[in-house]
Every structure is written in C-alpha cells, then in structure tokens.
C-alpha cells in the first residue's frame, strides 16, 4: 500500500487561502515547511510563562533587541 501524497504550499499560497476565506479569520493555524499545522490553545501555564519572559526580556534588552510577541514572522518561502 502506498503512503498518501502530501502537497506543500508556499507562504504566498497560504496568505491567498486566508484572503479568499479558505482559512477562517479566527483559525489557529500556522504554516511550517509548507504544511498547515493546527495550533493548540494557550494554557494558563503557557500564558503565565509567556508574560514572565516578556517582562524579563524587556527589562534586560537595553535597546539592543526588538521584542515582538505573538506577531507573524516569515522564515522562508514555506514557513
């Protein structure tokens, strides 16, 4: 038996899917290596650790870094 074929998509195609409604506006998904992956909900523990780390990095950054929390980042044409 053959394994099912997978189809990788580009960031451009991913954004087009969002624009046309193929992905719901509130969909919790991300594109990793050309695959659309569901994101899990943020647990209270995850949220608390995130808040702690954000405060920590803001305190020690000394204007050396730009800190961006939960914003999109494009790594390459497939992620």
What per-residue confidence (pLDDT) applies to 11? 96
Element (H, E) at 52: helix 44-60
Half-sphere exposure of 17 (CA within 13 A, CB side): 15
Give the position of tokens 């899990």.
40
Domain boundaries, given as residue ranges, for the chain: 11-60
> From residue 74, how far is each of 31, 33, 47, 78, 79 by CA, in Å?
9, 11, 23, 9, 6
What per-residue confidence (pLDDT) applies to 40? 87
* pLDDT tens series, the chain, 79 aa: 787 888 899 999 999 999 999 999 899 999 999 999 999 888 999 999 999 999 999 999 888 888 888 888 899 999 9
CA–CA separation, 34 and 56 (whole Å): 33
């Amino acid at each position: 038996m053959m394994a099912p074929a997978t189809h990788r998509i580009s960031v451009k195609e991913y954004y087009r899917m969002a624009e046309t409604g193929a992905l719901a506006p509130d969909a919790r998904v991300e594109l990793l290596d050309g695959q659309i992956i569901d994101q899990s909900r943020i647990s209270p523990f995850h949220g608390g650790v995130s808040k702690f780390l954000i405060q920590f990095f803001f305190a020690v950054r000394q204007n050396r870094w730009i800190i961006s929390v939960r914003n999109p980042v494009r790594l390459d044409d497939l992620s």
